[in-house]
Amino acid sequence: MKPFIVIGHRGACAHEPENTLRSIRRGIHDGADMIEIDVRLVDGEIVVFHDDTLDRTTDGNGSVYASPFPELRALSAGKRERIPTLAEVLALTGGQVPLNIELKDRLVVAPVCSLVDSMPREDVLLSSFDWESLREARHLSPTVPIGILTEGAGEAALMEAASLRAASLHPALTCLTPEYVALARARRLPVYPFTVRNSEDLGKVRACGADGCFADDPGWVRAAMSE
């Protein structure tokens, strides 16, 4: 049987502040097969950050794009962690665990491709809900692995995957069905739904026959899968 791939969502955000080095270390420690992070381009730097505002996850407020980089770095992202850069996350995960970089804005695409292409590592997977960003990534980096994020279980995502020579399909859990997994399988696309947070979610992922999943608590999913 093929192994089930557990992807630590924003590190291990059930336990540690999301998208911080601390959260990523926890995800690695807890046995995640891959770590997922979100990136944006702010003040010329690739920063690891989910929202477009600072309010929910830091002690700052307002648009993340309004602050110069040194001011962003002075904020606490929880437990006095700093907002990391992509370079820091690549350094931390290199040689330890594959990294899924989710592109959250268009401006970040070219700098991410340039950085990833400059590195010897091949265990980096780019993904985005914005397929135009993925088309640009494919153009800039003809061989980088790409994952298609989708909130609907439609034919469009499968066609986009074929066109981009995608490595995987990342559908929302809400739209996951056994039929959709089978359609992806027929196109040799592994399916990694997001985001598993409890037993019911994991039950659905298993019942649908997905190849893995994104999980806020990758250690718990890993343990549940081996029972």
Answer yes or no whether residue 30 interacts with Mg ion by CB under 5 A.
Answer: no
Answer yes or no whether residue 214 interacts with ligand G3P by CB under 6 A.
Answer: yes
Pick one of 30, 102, 211, 216: the residue that binds Mg ion (CB under 5 A): 102
* Residues between 35 and 74 with contacts to Mg ion, criterion CB under 5 A: 38
Catalytic status, residue 9: yes
* Residues between 166 and 185 with contacts to ligand G3P, criterion CB under 6 A: 170
Q: Which residues of 158-188 are buried (b: 16+ CB within 10 A; e: fewer)?
A: bebbeebebbbbbbebeebeeebbebbeeee
# residues contacting ligand G3P (CB under 6 A): 11
Answer yes or no whether residue 18 interacts with Mg ion by CB under 5 A.
Answer: no
Which is nearer to ligand G3P, 120 or 173 (by Cβ)?
A: 173
Residues that bind ligand G3P (CB under 6 A): 9, 36, 38, 50, 102, 127, 149, 170, 194-195, 214
Interface residues with Mg ion (CB under 5 A)? 38, 102
